[in-house]
Amino acid sequence: MHRDAGKRQVLSPRSSDEGKKWLEWEEYLDVIRAMRVDVEEEIGRFVPNDHPAVVVVIDNDGVGDGDGDGKGQKIKYTTTQRRIAIKLQNYLILAFFSSIPDRQRTFRELTLHKTFLRNDQLNAWTIKHGPDDYKTGKTYGDRPALPLPPELTPTIDEFLTRWRPCLLPTGSHVFVQSRTGNRLTGDSLYSIVSRSCYTHGGKRTNPHLLRDMIVTHVRRKGNASEKELEALALYMGHSIGMQRSSYDRRTVEEKVAPAVELLRSVNVNYDDG
């Protein structure tokens, strides 16, 4: 039954019009660039205490909800600070997806000092998963450390030390909901990606489609070796077979085009008489 369902899935058309959601990879990178410019400009204009502050009681339990023993300190965050924190968080989420095209669970559950670690030798933040930390962990076991680009390190450092506290996180998760401070849910992360891509790219792209987009982009360019494609599959936590069957969204014509060119090159000197 499972094999039969899989065969029918391959042959069945998509249930939704993904043309309304699909961004070419360069278009997605343009979205990230636009988000970076937006938040950098806002940070550049920021002046401390330029708006009435939101007074938050941080109790001894470390939770910014005021329901502890009431002996905590009062911390003031302005509406501007919170807006910048939200924009910076959203930018980092989309930038993380471009560098590590993993499942959304990875970024929802990203935890400081557990799965999110700073490698001072590389000057880079890395994601490290054990078998219980990702979907296919029972199959692939411990994953190698997944490093983010060193170029992102100063921004991540600034977010964690200066701006993340403005979102009043209730735990050690890197990314949190702006209203509650709790870790992101599937719906909240979906909304961040979809709204950001629509605002800056005109398409409501979703987190899972990002994985298809990068695989399709790499395979469409046609200059990646089999070793590189296999490494990309391992990096993304799936098999090379899954990469070919589920994530590669090229048309059949695009897939056979290299064979057409190959045959032409083989037969280029053929003289039929």
Most confident of 56-60, 63-67, 102-106, 162-166: 162-166
121-157: pLDDT as tens digits: 999 999 988 777 666 656 656 778 888 999 999 999 9
Mean pLDDT of 159-173: 95
For residue 73, pLDDT over 80 is answered with: no
> Which among 187, 172, 186, 191 is positioned nearest to 86, based on CA atoms?
191
Q: Where are the domains of the chain?
A: 17-266
What pLDDT is attached to residue 61? 45
- Please say whether the beta carbons of 132 and 103 come within 8 A: no
* The CATH classification of domain 17-266, taken from the options 1.10.3720.10, 2.40.50.250, 3.90.400.10, 1.10.443.10: 1.10.443.10
Mean pLDDT score of the chain, rounded to an integer? 78
pTM: 0.74
> Which among 118, 79, 100, 97 is positioned nearest to 35, based on CA atoms?
97
For residue 219, pLDDT over 70 is answered with: yes
Residues 6+ away with beta carbon under 8 Å from 207: 97, 103, 104, 189, 190, 193
177, containing H or E segment: none
Q: Can you tell me the distance from the alpha carbon of 53 to that of 50, in angstroms, rounded to the nearest whole number? A: 9
